[in-house]
Structures are given as structure tokens and as C-alpha cells.
Amino acid sequence: MAMVDWQRIWNDDGRINRYTVIRIIAFAISFPYRLIITFRNWLFDKNIFAVVKLPCPVISVGNITAGGTGKTPCVIMLARMLQSHGFKPAILSRGYGSKNTKSVNIVSDGKNILVDSKTAGDEPFLMAQSLNSIPIIIGPQRIKTGREAITRFGANVLICDDAMQHRQIFRDINLVLLDSQDTLANDYVLPRGKLREPIAGLKRASALMLTRTDETPKTDNIKKILSQIGDIPIFTSVHKIQDVIKGDYSDNWPISNLAGKKVCAFCGIGKPDSFRKSLLAARANILSWDTFPDHHNYNLAELEIIKNKYYSYEADLIITTQKDVMRLQNFADLLSIIYMMRIEMEINPSRESFDTFILDRLTSAVINPVRP
């Protein structure tokens, strides 16, 4: 099953002559999953399941699809913006893929990173590497981690990473990201389709953020989504390459330095094609290209194969994503020869309107608090 091309299954339009045994099995599983998630949402909508309101505003950054939409660069961008306006944000994450067994675990206290990447998970660890003076806390229950952020660090606004479906905590802003490249050829939920919940769940969104809009967007997909969400703000963004930096942080280049370089590239992210497109846009000469599942934990044998390609092809460098490097912290020898591409989210065309929307909502939440 590890070799199943789930993107191809998810992008199938449902014609019967394209079905395989795996598609049929996936459909059989997705039907009860859809019933369960729909019933769960109904229980929250009817206030049968309790929602807890914490004593400071909460912003959720999430999505309704599996795979990468750019949540991590969005959370980093949002945290920096709030900090620049005098807020004391803290980031709460479940820590997907982490080895954390505690109900509350401090990844960063804002000054020091307190756990390793395996304990933190690659995305919280990446955020801890990228942000200063912003606590990052992981745990399965964001109510507990949120209270810890408030009492221990004096946080006055909480950013919940990947929390669209985590409805136990009340959020003042529900920011939902959608990759403008997603086809959403069908409306199936996991595992038959890529939806975490039916598209109707977008009605809970306070605002929609379309990501990767510098690439040709799937306009039919966007029209379908817009028909579901009603009259809410819609922002657009691009993933801008920040620089290329060595895995041990001993060297960094502007992206222009990749032009003409012979590279051996690999990644284990939700949207590997986006990384490949970035390399091609930078005019890198890709000699080898290896992809792995999202959040893949690399072993020595896999990395040795990549390193051997680097030497045998006489490449200029090995390159991967910043997220992947977070999972390579125990391979010091490799970090000294590998480079990572760092990206950041850029609101385009109007960053000012996005900031105003967030700040106005936070002001309203403080002046006129809403009870769940």
C-alpha cells in the first residue's frame, strides 16, 4: 500500500471504467468516514458537544484537504505579523508525526528550543527554528496547551496550527487555506478523495486563503469552492523562495545562485511537485529526483543512495526542503553537504488588507467577546 499513488486516486473523476480494486476499497472506507465526520460536525453545530472559550483570542489556521496547502509558512507569517503589532502570540500544534507522549510539551519557550525534532515533529521544530520570542507548544488537546501558553508565557493571542477539524476550542478567526492547484476532481472524503471533511465545512471559515496563486490556478475548482462559502473575505498568496541554506546553517545563497547548478533533489512533503517547480524556476539542472511520503522518516540506507547519486553524478549539491531537513537532525554528516530551500508566504496583491482583517477581528474579540 505504501506505493499507492494516492494523488492519482484522489484526482480521479469517478468514472466507473477507471476504478481499481484499491479505489473500490477506498470508497467503501470513505462512506462511513463521511457519515461519522458529518454527524460529529452536526453535534458541534447544535452545541451538543461543548466548545471551550479560552481567555484570549484564538486564530485557527487549517484546511479541509489532505496534503500540503502551506499552513506552516502561513503560521510563521501570521506570528511575525502579530508580534510586529505588539501582540504576544503563542503557537499550538498537535505535533503530527512527533514522538511526544506528554499532554503538554514545550518545543520552544521563545528563547531556546527545548526538544529534538523527533519529539517536536518536523513542522513545530521548523517553526521553532524560524521564530524568535514566540513559544511553541505541542499536545493532543489544544485547550490544555492553550492554557499553558497563557499562564506560563503570558500569551494574549493563540495560533492553532492545523485546527480546522479540532472544534473543541472556540476560535475567533477560522482561516482556511486551499491550494489553488488542487483539482478536487471529486467530492469524496478520505481515503477515496482528499477531503478531510465535506466541502460544506467551509461555511465555518472566517476567511479563505488561496495559496500558490502564482502558478496557473484551477479556476473550476475555485468556482466550486466559492459557491460553498458565502460572503467571506478571500485572500491570495504565493510561496516565495527566501534563500538556499546549508543543512547545518554554515552557508547560505540567494536563490539566483542555483541557476545552472547540477543538483540531486529529494523530498518527503505533501506536494513534491511544488518543490520541483521551484527548482526548475530557479533554473537548476536536476540530475536525480527522489520523492517519499509526506512526513517520511528517512533511514540511513535511503540517504546513502541519495549521497551516492551525488558523488557518481558529480553534482554540485544535494538539495531538499526546509521541512525535510527537520527530519535529518540525527545525520550530521549529511547536514554538512546538503542544502535546503527556504520559503515564506507572501500575501499578494494586498498584504495590508489581510493584516487589517486579522487585527480588526482581534480587536472585536477583545472588546465584544463571543460566547460559544
Q: What is the pLDDT of residues 34-54, one digit of tens each?
A: 999 999 999 999 999 999 999
Rounded CA gap, 173 and 339, in Å? 36
pLDDT at 13 exceeding the cut of 60: no
Lowest-confidence range among 5-14, 127-136, 222-231, 285-294? 5-14
Cβ contact 187:117 at 8 Å:
no
Tell me the CATH architecture of domain 58-238+346-367. Answer: 3-Layer(aba) Sandwich (3.40)
> What is the per-residue pLDDT for 176?
95
Q: Give the pLDDT score at 185.
A: 60
Beta carbons of 138 and 120 less than 8 angstroms apart: yes
The grid cell for 245 is: 541554506
Residue 110 has pLDDT above 50, yes or no: yes
- In this prediction, residue 1 has a pLDDT band, given cuts at 50, 70 and 90, of very low
The three-point CA angle 106-108-113 to 5° equals 115
> How confident is residue 16, by pLDDT bands cut at 50, 70 and 90?
very low
Q: Kindly indicate the confidence band of residue 324, based on its pLDDT and cuts at 50, 70 and 90.
A: very high
Asked whether residue 340 carries a pLDDT value surpassing 70, the answer given is yes
pLDDT at 19: 54
Average pLDDT, the chain: 90
Quote the CA–CA distance of 216 and 218 in Å, as a whole number: 7
pLDDT of 3 > 60? The answer is no
Return the domain boundaries, the chain. Answer: 58-238+346-367, 240-345
Grid cell in block for residue 362: 482581534
Residues 6+ apart with CB under 8 A from 293: 2, 268
Identify the band that residue 156 occupies on the pLDDT scale cut at 50, 70 and 90: very high
Lowest mean pLDDT among 5-9, 34-38, 326-330: 5-9
Of 6-10, 113-117, 321-325, the poorest mean pLDDT is in 6-10
Q: What is the pLDDT of residue 98?
A: 81
Position 183 scores a pLDDT of 65
> Percent of the chain beyond pLDDT 90?
70
Residue type, 341: M
Please, what is the Cα angle at 70 between 285 and 360, to 5 degrees?
140
Q: 350 vs 120, which has greater pLDDT?
A: 120
Band (188; pLDDT cuts 50, 70, 90): confident
**Which pLDDT band, with edges at 50, 70 and 90, does 192 fall under?**
confident
Residue 204's SS3 state is helix
Q: What DSSP assignment string belongs to 33-59?
A: HHHHHHHHHHHHHTT-S--BPPSS-EE
Residue that wins the pLDDT comparison between 214 and 364: 364
pLDDT of 12 over the 80 cut? no
pLDDT digit string, tens, across residues 157-171: 999 999 999 999 999
For the stretch 208-219, pLDDT in tens is: 999 988 876 666
- Mean pLDDT calculated for residue range 206-233: 77
Q: Torsions phi, psi of 346, nearest 5?
A: -125, 120
66-78, pLDDT tens digit by residue? 877 899 999 999 9
Q: Residue 167 in contact with residue 51, Cβ under 8 Å?
A: yes
- 223 has pLDDT over 80: no
pLDDT at 219: 60
CA–CA distance, 225 with 201 (Å, rounded to integer): 11
